[in-house]
Structure 1
Amino acid sequence: GMEADFAAFGSPLCGEVKRFCRRVRETYREIKEDLTPYRDDRYYRLAPMRLYTLSKRHFVLVFVVFFVCFGLTVFIGIAGPNVIETSVARTDLNNSVKLKPFNLSSPPLSTYNQQLWLTCIVELDQQDVSLKKNVSMTVKILGVVKDGSTPYVNNQVHNRTRLLSCAQKCSEIIVAHLGYLNYTQYNIFVSLEDLNKLTYTIQNITFTWKTYNPTFSQVEIWFRFVFVVLTFMVTCLFAHSLRKFSMRDWGIEQKWMSILLPLLLLYNGT
């Protein structure tokens, strides 16, 4: 009696499972038909892509050339000049108890230096100090022109607040940053009167000028120029290869390439 009940119970269950599997197969077949593009006459008029007709040898050759070029750029980046050029303007406090404003002159600059940073590091007498304090500073930037005069930059004095963080050594503080250089030299006056309120003795304050390395800037310009020329040549070859086909017959890859190549040309050219 129990086996008969189990058989009666199993038959409907197996039937439901079979119907469910059949329904899944039908749904999959319908989705596959919907996703498969209908190959009308336009399908055979689409502009051909060389990538789909490459032989194995040419396919491997394309990848080899790509990795050789990529490795060459990585090697030039590693063996090339440093990106940032630094020069230290160490200031002597002369054992004075009270800090006075600092008058700092930048090294000679050119357009290849691109930007200018002035940073400082505070050195305390105590080495194992843990300190975090907001420090106010006053910065006045003067540009030196050829006749020796020093006009104001932006005609204002800048008041800035920076976080002084010390843990054995104090972290570097950015005093000023010029995003573009209109003068060949700058004089910067820095007042750090808030440091006089510290309970710790200041041993020294080291200021550092940072700019882009002019040699790096020249290498960057040549790289961009070479890539502008290469991108222009590829764009011309791409347009020449598609001149026989209507834009309606372009594939999605070719349409996107027609947008990306001019954008890449503009990116490398600016």
Structure 2
Amino acid sequence: MAREIESSVQMRLYALNKRQFVLVFIVFFMCFGISVLVGVAGPHIVETVVKNGSTLIPKPDNLNTGPFHLKSPPMSTFHQQLWLTANIITDSTGGGRFEQPFLMGIRIQGINGDIQSVVDSDSPELNGDLHNRSRLLRCRTVCEDLIVLHLGFLDYANYLINVYFYGLDNSKFNIKTIQFTFKSYNPSFTQIEIWIRFVFLVLTFLATCMFAHSLRKFSMRDWSIEQKWMSILLPLLLMYDDPIFPLTFLVNSWVPGMFDGVFQASFLCALLLFWLCIYHGVRQTDRRFLRFYLPKLLIVGLMWIAAVTLASWQEYNELQDPTYYYRLDTNNFLGLKIFFFIVGGLYLLYLAYLLIRAYAELRSMPYFDLRLKFMTALMLIVLSISIAITILRFGSGVLHDNFVAEMSTNYENSAEFVSFYGLLNFYMYTMAFVYSPSKNAMYETHFKDNPALSMLNDSDEEVHYGSDEEATMTTRNFTKYDSDDDFR
């Protein structure tokens, strides 16, 4: 295949021998394993308080209608969010399945101090107005939990919640009791989360500075496509680790949480765009914006818009009404969900096409073959672990009702959270190390990143995994070829 000669800074990837390649992956897995152990030793993520509806004080007039007067446990900003769920237990013993639509009314008031000091809030969700929401009770052997309300940030020390049911008195089964469950983040986990984010933020800042320092003597036009992308992804990783995360606990506002969601979506979509550009750009030097970047930006940009819109839409509706539940807004939710999966499917097809084309055209070229093998191996490792974490977290419902972020009771400890953060951070650190300039990179003449010309007489084994002596000879050959006028 004829390919235009492209000058680029020699990457450390080309100077690694077999032992060093193995050591790079061993260090990656060791760091990831340490993060998993830290997560396993961490506290439970969810703090749960259960209250039985039949033993509440004052006692409800009727279990089928209420009202149920609930007072939340003491809350602080370290609890981050508050969920209230209801589990209705009926006297059904036959295991039959039935559905019962009904109306749920919720009145919420904030308390600072004792119960005598009920706060008159101007916010629409906490001013004591009655919020009415339609719900559907689904029962088989047991009934599904009902989401009563969700508060995205906590302004008060306690909350008074009155719950009313309308329509359940017509059900063919009698209600034995109702278990109300308050769920929030464990303050101990919140402290661990702050420290983990801070540690990764510092490590990412150091990695970004070191990578930028290693490229300071080279012109940007001579950077390889991997090096250019790393100069974009590392600052985005800083945003992913969220330097403004502590503001969540200092400012009683939904804004820091919204920015955290936007930062995470931006980094993950940039990573998806990076994979597309790498597998296409490694075999094509003509990277004009309209032909090269625009189709990829269109696909990934639509995914970013869908993710941010879903998060913002849910956040906005919950701010206006904490009883809002996205599963019941079926038209808008399902439309965005289907749109996201269609665009995601197109992305996967496009990525598979670019990967197959890259391997078909470049697998016989030593340098490009090495770049493809490293990129693909590390990408598959990250994707495999990410999919495993997601399945462990959400189970078989990963493609159904967990599409929008909500409290997941499958979290038993901090392992999934820490391992996922560690996975992405260590993935970026590994690429920053491998794609940084090698010690033997030339400062005045440029490395011809074209194996068809520069490595005609070398075998793949010698180029990829030479011994230490062979690596020295390879470096000497680089200097020879780069100084040869025939290859300029």
Query: Normalised by the size of structure 2, how large is the TM-score?
Result: 0.45
Q: 1:52 aligns with which of 14, 19, 33?
A: 14
SS of 2:206's equivalent in the other structure is helix
Q: 1:245 aligns with which of 194, 218, 224?
A: 218
CA distance in structure 2 between the aligned counterparts of 1:115 and 1:179, rounded to whole angstroms: 5
Give the aligned partner of residue 88 of structure 2.
122
1:144–1:151: 8 Å Cα contact kept in structure 2? no
1:104 aligns with 2:70: yes
Give the aligned partner of residue 217 of structure 1.
190
SS of 2:203's equivalent in the other structure is helix
CA distance in structure 1 between the aligned counterparts of 2:28 and 2:222, rounded to whole angstroms: 29
Give the aligned partner of residue 120 of structure 2.
151
CA distance in structure 2 between the aligned counterparts of 1:163 and 1:202, rounded to whole angstroms: 15
After superposition, the C-alpha distances for 1:216-254 in whole angstroms (9 at most, x for unaligned) are: 111111111000000000011011111101111111001
Shift of 1:191: 0.4
The one-letter code sitting in structure 2 at the alignment partner of 1:71 is G
- Bigger Cα displacement from structure 2, 49-58 vs 256-265: 49-58
The one-letter code sitting in structure 2 at the alignment partner of 1:228 is L
Unaligned runs of 5+ in 1: 1-31
Greater helix fraction, Structure 1 or Structure 2: 2
Q: 1:205 aligns with which of 142, 164, 178?
A: 178
Shift of 1:112: 1.3
Gap change, CA 1:160 and 1:62, over 3 Å in 2: same
SS of 2:83's equivalent in the other structure is strand
SS of 1:169's equivalent in the other structure is coil
1:115–1:212: 8 Å Cα contact kept in structure 2? yes
Give the aligned partner of residue 233 of structure 2.
260
CA distance in structure 1 between the aligned counterparts of 2:60 and 2:151, rounded to whole angstroms: 32
The one-letter code sitting in structure 2 at the alignment partner of 1:150 is V
Shift of 1:130: 2.0
Shift of 1:95: 9.5
2:110–2:159: 8 Å Cα contact kept in structure 1? yes
CA RMSD of aligned residues (A): 1.9
1:81 aligns with 2:81: no
The one-letter code sitting in structure 1 at the alignment partner of 2:119 is T
CA distance in structure 2 between the aligned counterparts of 1:66 and 1:102, rounded to whole angstroms: 53
The one-letter code sitting in structure 1 at the alignment partner of 2:149 is A
Shift of 1:96: 5.8
Aligned residues: 232
SS of 2:69's equivalent in the other structure is strand
The one-letter code sitting in structure 1 at the alignment partner of 2:235 is P
2:61–2:67: 8 Å Cα contact kept in structure 1? no
Shift of 1:79: 3.1
Shift of 1:138: 0.4
| Bigger Rg, which one | 1
The one-letter code sitting in structure 2 at the alignment partner of 1:137 is M
CA distance in structure 1 between the aligned counterparts of 2:173 and 2:113, rounded to whole angstroms: 43
SS of 1:170's equivalent in the other structure is coil
After superposition, the C-alpha distances for 1:126-177 in whole angstroms (9 at most, x for unaligned) are: 2224211122100111111237223245233211111101101111101111
1:187 aligns with 2:160: yes
Query: Normalised by the size of structure 1, how large is the TM-score?
Result: 0.80
CA distance in structure 2 between the aligned counterparts of 1:251 and 1:195, rounded to whole angstroms: 66
CA distance in structure 2 between the aligned counterparts of 1:165 and 1:78, rounded to whole angstroms: 35
Gap change, CA 1:118 and 1:95, over 3 Å in 2: closer
**Stretches of 4+ aligned residues off by more than 6 angstroms:** none
CA distance in structure 1 between the aligned counterparts of 2:17 and 2:91, rounded to whole angstroms: 71
SS of 1:120's equivalent in the other structure is strand
After superposition, the C-alpha distances for 1:173-214 in whole angstroms (9 at most, x for unaligned) are: 011111111112111110013222223211111111001111
1:134 aligns with 2:107: no
1:104–1:189: 8 Å Cα contact kept in structure 2? yes
CA distance in structure 2 between the aligned counterparts of 1:238 and 1:48, rounded to whole angstroms: 14
CA distance in structure 2 between the aligned counterparts of 1:224 and 1:168, rounded to whole angstroms: 42
CA distance in structure 2 between the aligned counterparts of 1:95 and 1:245, rounded to whole angstroms: 74
- What fraction of aligned residue pairs are identical, expressed as a percent? 50
CA distance in structure 2 between the aligned counterparts of 1:83 and 1:135, rounded to whole angstroms: 32
